[in-house]
Chain A
């Protein structure tokens, strides 16, 4: 008959373990950031207008041949402003091409933003209607993708880049690409 006396305790213990597991699993502050299903897959094809050259379109094909960093930003995005000096410092090292992906911005606002804070990008493409952004699985700015020379997405980061993220995540991924070539 001891069985039924211990049963409530056992149920309580099981529930406690379950709740503890829930708390443990949610300890990661990055849990709201979605993993990209694009990692290891070809970068989505696009053909987008170049921000600084009226009438010129840039395609994803033209970017092939060497790795590049695609940075999603908008003049409406406060965190992009925070990220900007970090990205500029990284772009100055010339480790790889940094491409700007201007997401759902006003043309004039985007140009003014770059004039004001400086332009770290070798080229900026503008996605005015946000259709190309959907193909990339973009859902908030800033977001940053690392694409290798064959056009395969190798890494994605959601949120503003920091020196730590660049040193601990981006550069190791880039070294892997460079070694494989």
Chain B
């Protein structure tokens, strides 16, 4: 515990978090437990920002997990629970951000890059095959290049 708090002190010198020991969460059935784990794996811990809410041992992550379970038991849907956290902590808490003008590059950028790469490869392959062919058979295609 001491080494953990020391590590946290050095990792985040400007901020601190409470360190009281939380009681573990208990689930009423496996369905609830499965839904809970799927949900917290999609949420980012706001304190330790490269961990999910499921993985993090930060006190605020404990509090937020407890809150997520409480909201589930109030009958809130996954979407409503995510909206609840986004309203408080911002879009940042979502590992999968909503599709909007600000995030479309994030969503579709990889596909665009793949397309561009595929196009480049096709071009090179086409160009190479054109040069190895006898000049008299495919004159008009060579002219494209």
Contacts and interface: CB of A to CB of B under 8 A. Distances in A.
Interface of A: 1, 3-4, 7, 11, 32, 34-38, 74, 76-80, 103-105, 130-131, 133-142, 158-160
26 contacts: A1-B131, A3-B145, A4-B127, A32-B49, A34-B92, A37-B89, A37-B90, A76-B16, A78-B9, A79-B15, A103-B18, A130-B18, A130-B59, A130-B63, A135-B88, A136-B88, A137-B89, A138-B60, A139-B17, A139-B47, A139-B60, A140-B47, A141-B15, A141-B18, A142-B15, A159-B14
Interface of B: 9, 12-20, 46-47, 49, 59-60, 63-64, 67, 86-90, 92, 120, 123-124, 127-128, 131, 145
Contacts of A137: 46, 88-90
A105 B59 CA distance: 12
Contacts of A80: 16
Given A37-B86, A139-B89, 20 more contacts: A1-B127, A1-B131, A3-B127, A3-B145, A4-B127, A4-B128, A32-B49, A74-B16, A77-B15, A78-B9, A79-B16, A80-B16, A104-B18, A104-B20, A133-B63, A137-B46, A140-B17, A141-B16, A141-B18, A158-B14
B18 A134 contact: no
